[in-house]
Amino acid sequence: MKVELLAVTPEPERIIELAARTCYQSGDRMTPETLGELLPKLIAMGHESPFEHAYATFRLTGVSRAMTHQLVRHRLMAVSQKSQRYVSEASFDWVVPPSVTPGRKAEFDADMEAIRALYAKWKAAGLKNEDARFVLPNACTTELIVSANFREWRHVFRVRCHPRAQWEIRQACLAMLGELGRHAPHVFADLMKECGPQKA
Ligand SMILES: Cc1cc2nc3c(=O)[nH]c(=O)nc-3n(C[C@H](O)[C@H](O)[C@H](O)COP(=O)(O)OP(=O)(O)OC[C@H]3O[C@@H](n4cnc5c(N)ncnc54)[C@H](O)[C@@H]3O)c2cc1C
């Protein structure tokens, strides 16, 4: 799995605080020294719309379709994902779950190779990518670009970094939380503390 931060709003905490202080007309109380201190108070009181003014975009590669099927359910997130209609999966790669013990990994890989052969068989029989993909496994790797505002990222991290979340989505979300925690520590401090990368 590779998680790359492609873009983030410049000075996100300043933008969020500026938005919040516009509500209260208290911009004169905003100083470089106190920047960000208001943000945890906004979170505590549920005043979350200012967090919608900051955005972040990530690229995820080498992740399974099993994982992305969960991630793309988040409706306030913009998603562009590798197509299985326009792109052939003839040489698809796969994710091996950690519960497959080293002693049985070869068996798992052989099963995936068998599915590759099935895909090739149906392509040779004349099926288009869009129909040949019906034999593909959830383990099949994919690539996607995801963008969301910080309010949505906070929601996604709260549910997907939880210790009981599925391991692969948790791993991806912990990596993204770690990146955003560096860019906007006051916005993500509570989540970093609750379930941050150090607790992975
Ligand atoms: C632990 C876990 C188990 C799950 N198990 C299943 C499962 O078995 N089957 C399954 O189908 N799905 C399952 N899901 C997916 C889940 O039902 C949601 O589809 C997914 O979490 C994304 O939706 P969301 O509401 O969290 O947030 P988002 O879609 O990211 O939206 C963010 C927030 O915006 C608001 N919002 C967005 N759209 C609406 C709307 N239409 N109406 C009102 N408010 C809205 C809500 O407050 C929402 O929390 C599971 C999710 C988790 C975290």
Say what percent of the chain tops pLDDT 90: 88
Pairing state of beta strands 2-8 and 78-81?
unpaired
Determine if ligand 1 sits within 6 Å of the CB of residue 74.
yes
Q: pLDDT band for position 35 (50/70/90)?
A: confident
For residues 32 and 92, the model is more confident at 92
Distance 156 CA to ligand 1 centre (A): 9
Options 3.40.50.300, 3.30.1360.170, 3.40.50.10860, 3.40.50.620; CATH for 2-80+141-199 is 3.30.1360.170
Q: CB-based contacts of 120: which residues, under 8 Å, 6+ apart?
A: 90
pLDDT at 15 exceeding the cut of 90: yes
The residue count for the chain: 200
Report whether pLDDT(199) > 70. no
pLDDT digits (tens, 9 = 90+) for 109-163: 999 999 999 999 999 999 999 999 999 999 999 999 999 999 999 999 999 999 9
**Residue 11 CB-density burial (10 A; 0-12 exposed, 13-18 middle, 19+ buried):** middle
Q: Which residue has the tokens 């590798």?
A: 82
Q: How do residues 36-50 score in pLDDT, each as one tens digit? A: 889 999 999 999 999
Pocket test for ligand 1, best of 67, 76, 150, 173 (most atoms within 8 A of CB): 76
Longest CA–CA span in the chain (Å) reads 71
| Domain boundaries defined on the chain | 2-80+141-199, 93-135
The helix (run of H) or strand (run of E) holding residue 61 is strand 55-64
Cβ–ligand 1 distance for 73 under 6 Å, the answer yes
On the question of pLDDT at 196 being above 70, the answer is no
Give the pLDDT band (50/70/90) at residue 200: very low
Res 198: pLDDT: 52
Reported as type and span, the H/E element at residue 115 is helix 105-124
